[in-house]
Structure 1
Amino acid sequence: MTRVLHVITGLEHGGAERQLVLLLRHLPVACEVATLTRTGTLGAQLRAAGVPVHEIGMRHNRDLAALPRLARLIRRGRYDVVHTHLYRACVYGRIAARMAGTPRIVATEHSLGDGHIEGRVPSRGVRILYRATERLGSATVAVSPTVAARLCGWGVRPGRIVVIPNAIDAAGFAFDAARRAATRRRLGIAPDERIVGAVGRLVPTKRFDLLVEAVAPLRGVRLLLVGTGPERARLERLARDLGATGRVLFAGGTSDVAGALAAMDVLAAPSVQESFGLAVLEGLAAGLPVLYTTCPALDDRPPGEAPQARRLPTDARIWSAELERVTRGPRERTPVPPVVARYAIAEQAARLARLYEDGLTTVSEPSFREGAPTRERAHDAAT
């Protein structure tokens, strides 16, 4: 059986980290994980499930001592494939895998935004290092055609890119009334309260500040923010300044995203920088109406596959009016739209396994070609 080592920066709660955990449950290959930094909550879950997790002990971004430690781990393991995730792990993991003589090196680009990578504006040095180490690998996986186009903009050759979208286990997000009641009790939310929810890292590009501003004037509506990040203190101050302290609930990170979604009445995703938009898909799988600003998982698809989702500009007044309308409407869950099935975990895991075995020849995404007209490109051309 093919043996794969996944290298990731850390294993705390985050979209890329949760996506890796989901993949490990479905990949038909033998997998181990190396985390450059902390094992974290998700790492503990993986170990409990029987997945070997190796902690490299990297102390900071320029801790070069981590490189030979990782290379030794890869050499001892004699893995058939090293698969890297997130910027730091991609840089160090590709170099270490090449040093160890690994025959196939794959990287997934989870977080390349328009002018951002992992929520930060990249320096010239970051771009140069990215391009230089990308060439050490066998293939780069983009999680959407939008990300594939961005990779080309960074100088990655189209022939080295394959689109394998992020995946979702829709059944795991199916609405459960008992779960809704239990989660609401745990969070101190009354059964009849109207809840606008959001899931994601508390970083500027997610625009959760816009949600605080939009919810502040709405009577009888509370905002549930699920996630951790450096913006929490600023968001708390903003809620206090707007007189909405008691109506903005910071739930922190959670391994039970399905439970958090069950507690909500609408999912709000005003992010302006997304590589895929997994939270939007999860909200749709949970039967929620969804309001969003940027979501390649929907925007790269033909219109009409997600009638429960509505795209809004980054204007707090528009968001406030729409949230008022949606939260005053019926609370019945809606049918899961067709777009969710297009990202089923079984199909994406199978495509990734074929990439491990056969390379780029059998898994190319027909919807991505160099110069393919994604909606993002069309917008850029129009402006």
Structure 2
Amino acid sequence: MRVLQVITGLGVGGAEQQLRLLLRHLPVECEVVTLTHPGAVAEGLRADGVRVHHLGMRGNRDLRALPRLTRLIRDGGYDLVHTHLYRACVYGRIAARLAGVRAVVATEHSLGDTEIEGRPLTRPTRALYLGTERLGAATVAVSETVAGRLREWGVPGGRVRVVPNGIDAAGFAFDPAARAAVRARFGIPPEEFIVGAVGRLVPGKRFDVLVRAVAALPGVRLLIAGDGPERPALTALAARLGAADRMHFLGECDGGPGAGDGSALGSGPGSGSVPVTGFGSGFDSVRVTGSGSGFGTGSGSVPVTEPWPGSGSVPRPGEGAGADAAPGVRPPPGECPVPASCDVPSTATATATAAGSRPRPAGALATGPGAVPVPGSRALPVAGDGAGGPPAGPPGARAESAPAGPVGVPALLSAVDVLVSASRAEAFGLAVVEALAAGLPVLHSTCPAVDDLPASSAPGARRFDGTAESLTTALYRQRAAGPVPPESRLRQPPIVRHYDIARSGARLMAVYAEVAAARTTTEPPTPSTTPIGRARP
């Protein structure tokens, strides 16, 4: 079977990194075409031996891309086309139909209740999505939660399949040496309590809630892996709260094996991604604008001239790092900052059975400026504080940036004592699963990956109500409980095994086989004997 993967862009982003990892576990011959921006992930794919095509699309109204994509699909002799992210799904489904390929699968990576890929859902956006969805054979949701949202949108339930995101659990296993090394480079004593966070610095991730909560707890540090437009506002907020010296913004980092949902993302000068303008991947590594033309859907035409989702993330009232707020968040009523010796029992230590680990998949390591290590490697040079522009806040009160040298998300997760995810909405919550694989307790406001499974699958995950006050209380108690012992951190809970990338690959192959069998009148093609992920000569 020959499969063409169509994606909006290949800058550093969650969906892009997840695709790269997944291709290493599909026993079929895959090629990738990016509509625009063949960035760092494209280089990584090529290092893995995957053939990458660049369509050179200049924006949503660049309709010249449609015949080019149609010709690529027709000339490539692909048996199946798999699309990823909104714009690639729209153009890819149409092009596949024009090329005569009926076996079309689309993955919905980032659909919330009111947003898609971080942009507000509008009636035209929904109509365009549903109109082109009919041209495919199946729509894959990355979680049961997203599957439910698709059905509520109007996608027929019989066309929806669930293939969860996955991780390479062995790559995120707790590493005591990495813990010591990261703490040493930031000058953080072994006993000091560190809060970690991973993700794109955009309003929807609500990092301002986390900054306020940590600022209210003297002696607590915060390490954030990720970059984005909210970074200057967040560093300014940390300075206003008098906690800049305890906040470390690492910039864009390698997400490690199985990076996804924005595990460690960013854009801007020095980050290796080139902003265009407007709408693109789910994590703004690539951004484009506009739309164009129209097409028939069988029940009338949906004009593609309707505006694409907006060109920028706008905080809702009271949200975002720049929103008006009290200068700080008080510790819980009647309590004071917790001494390390305070005896409070832990409620977030993972004690479930260990998940089986697999060897990391083999592959060449990408090298050179802007290169992204092959999934399984653990580090990438990070952007310094200067990448986001001039320092915010008064002189001498700027948040810390990472020292020069490599820091990866797996090492960060080993170094911290708890991970926090304060997102307003998530399609999956891969950073939470990665943290659980590292043996960390996790505090989250929403996480479909956890919510879709029994509570016993992730005993180390606890929900808070999304406010800075409740997060302050939860962190206060977590700190009082003391760090999770190293031997406990080495035991991965059942949720990690459930979301193993090999299982995700097997589930996707079942979808491919089903779609191929339904869309052909002859015997379905047998899997290629070409090595996994290798390009055809």
TM (norm. structure 1) is: 0.89
Instruction: State which of 357, 363, 367 in structure 1 corresponds to 2:513.
Output: 357
SS of residue matched to 1:26: coil
* Deviation readout 1:193-221 (Å, 9 max, x if unpaired): 42211111112121111001101121221
Match of 1:367 in 2: none
Match of 2:501 in 1: 345
Greater RCO structure (CA 8 Å; 6+ sep): 2
Contact 1:265 1:288 in 2 (8 A): yes
Moved more, 282-291 or 314-323: 314-323
Q: How far apart are 1:183 and its partner, in Å?
A: 3.8
Paired with 2:168 and 2:211, the residues of 1 have a C-alpha distance of 30
Match of 2:78 in 1: 79
Contact 1:28 1:350 in 2 (8 A): no
Instruction: State which of 267, 270, 275 in structure 1 corresponds to 2:422.
Output: 270
Q: How far apart are 1:169 and its partner, in Å?
A: 1.5
SS of residue matched to 2:116: coil
Are 1:332 and 2:485 counterparts? Answer: yes
Paired with 1:99 and 1:354, the residues of 2 have a C-alpha distance of 25
Match of 1:296 in 2: 448
Contact 1:139 1:360 in 2 (8 A): no
Q: Structure 1's 30 and 38: CA in aligned 2 closer, same or farther, altered over 3 A? A: same
Return the letter of the residue paired with 1:352.
Answer: L
Match of 1:369 in 2: none
Paired with 2:186 and 2:20, the residues of 1 have a C-alpha distance of 25
Q: Structure 1's 60 and 238: CA in aligned 2 closer, same or farther, altered over 3 A? A: farther
Q: Structure 1's 28 and 248: CA in aligned 2 closer, same or farther, altered over 3 A? A: same
Paired with 1:39 and 1:124, the residues of 2 have a C-alpha distance of 31
Paired with 2:517 and 2:456, the residues of 1 have a C-alpha distance of 31
List gaps (5 residues or longer) in structure 2.
Answer: 255-407, 519-537
SS of residue matched to 1:287: coil
Paired with 2:187 and 2:22, the residues of 1 have a C-alpha distance of 33
SS of residue matched to 2:248: strand
Mapping for residues 95-174 of structure 1, pairs under 5 Å: 95-174=94-173
Paired with 1:150 and 1:126, the residues of 2 have a C-alpha distance of 15
Paired with 2:96 and 2:189, the residues of 1 have a C-alpha distance of 52
Paired with 1:314 and 1:38, the residues of 2 have a C-alpha distance of 35
SS of residue matched to 1:9: strand
Paired with 1:127 and 1:348, the residues of 2 have a C-alpha distance of 27
Return the letter of the residue paired with 2:105.
Answer: V
Contact 2:111 2:149 in 1 (8 A): yes
Q: Structure 1's 180 and 43: CA in aligned 2 closer, same or farther, altered over 3 A? A: farther
Q: Structure 1's 28 and 114: CA in aligned 2 closer, same or farther, altered over 3 A? A: same
SS of residue matched to 1:276: coil
Contact 1:162 1:360 in 2 (8 A): no
Paired with 1:270 and 1:136, the residues of 2 have a C-alpha distance of 36
Moved more, 49-58 or 289-298: 49-58
Contact 2:80 2:516 in 1 (8 A): no
Paired with 2:58 and 2:182, the residues of 1 have a C-alpha distance of 36
Paired with 2:204 and 2:517, the residues of 1 have a C-alpha distance of 35
| Larger-gyration structure (1/2) | 2
Cα RMSD over matched residues?
1.9
Instruction: State which of 309, 321, 334 in structure 1 corresponds to 2:473.
Output: 321
Match of 2:3 in 1: 4
Return the letter of the residue paired with 1:340.
Answer: V
Paired with 1:239 and 1:62, the residues of 2 have a C-alpha distance of 41
Return the letter of the residue paired with 1:349.
Answer: G
SS of residue matched to 1:137: coil
Mapping for residues 212-251 of structure 1, pairs under 5 Å: 212-251=211-250
* Deviation readout 1:41-60 (Å, 9 max, x if unpaired): 22111111111111222222
Paired with 2:119 and 2:186, the residues of 1 have a C-alpha distance of 31
Contact 1:7 1:89 in 2 (8 A): yes
Instruction: State which of 409, 428, 432 in structure 2 corresponds to 1:257.
Output: 409
* Deviation readout 1:85-133 (Å, 9 max, x if unpaired): 1111111111111122223110011100011101111221111110001
Corresponding residue pairs, total = 361
Contact 1:13 1:254 in 2 (8 A): no
Q: Percent identity?
A: 61
Paired with 1:91 and 1:287, the residues of 2 have a C-alpha distance of 40
Contact 2:104 2:515 in 1 (8 A): no
SS of residue matched to 2:36: coil
Q: How far apart are 1:248 and its partner, in Å?
A: 1.9
* Deviation readout 1:242-275 (Å, 9 max, x if unpaired): 2222222211222232122122211101112111
Contact 2:172 2:410 in 1 (8 A): yes
Return the letter of the residue paired with 2:485.
Answer: E
Q: Structure 1's 183 and 63: CA in aligned 2 closer, same or farther, altered over 3 A? A: farther
* Deviation readout 1:4-34 (Å, 9 max, x if unpaired): 1111112222221221111011111111111
Q: Structure 1's 180 and 71: CA in aligned 2 closer, same or farther, altered over 3 A? A: farther
* Deviation readout 1:141-171 (Å, 9 max, x if unpaired): 0111111110011111111101111112211
Paired with 1:70 and 1:64, the residues of 2 have a C-alpha distance of 10
Q: Structure 1's 58 and 234: CA in aligned 2 closer, same or farther, altered over 3 A? A: farther
Contact 2:213 2:472 in 1 (8 A): yes
Q: Structure 1's 6 and 189: CA in aligned 2 closer, same or farther, altered over 3 A? A: farther
Match of 2:17 in 1: 18
List gaps (5 residues or longer) in structure 1.
Answer: 363-383
Contact 2:423 2:446 in 1 (8 A): yes
Match of 2:69 in 1: 70
Q: Structure 1's 25 and 186: CA in aligned 2 closer, same or farther, altered over 3 A? A: farther
SS of residue matched to 2:71: helix
Return the letter of the residue paired with 1:282.
Answer: E
Are 1:29 and 2:185 counterparts? Answer: no
* Deviation readout 1:306-352 (Å, 9 max, x if unpaired): 11111110111111121122234124243211121111211220121
Are 1:311 and 2:463 counterparts? Answer: yes
Q: How far apart are 1:303 and its partner, in Å?
A: 2.2
Paired with 1:184 and 1:101, the residues of 2 have a C-alpha distance of 56
SS of residue matched to 1:243: coil
SS of residue matched to 2:439: coil
TM (norm. structure 2) is: 0.64
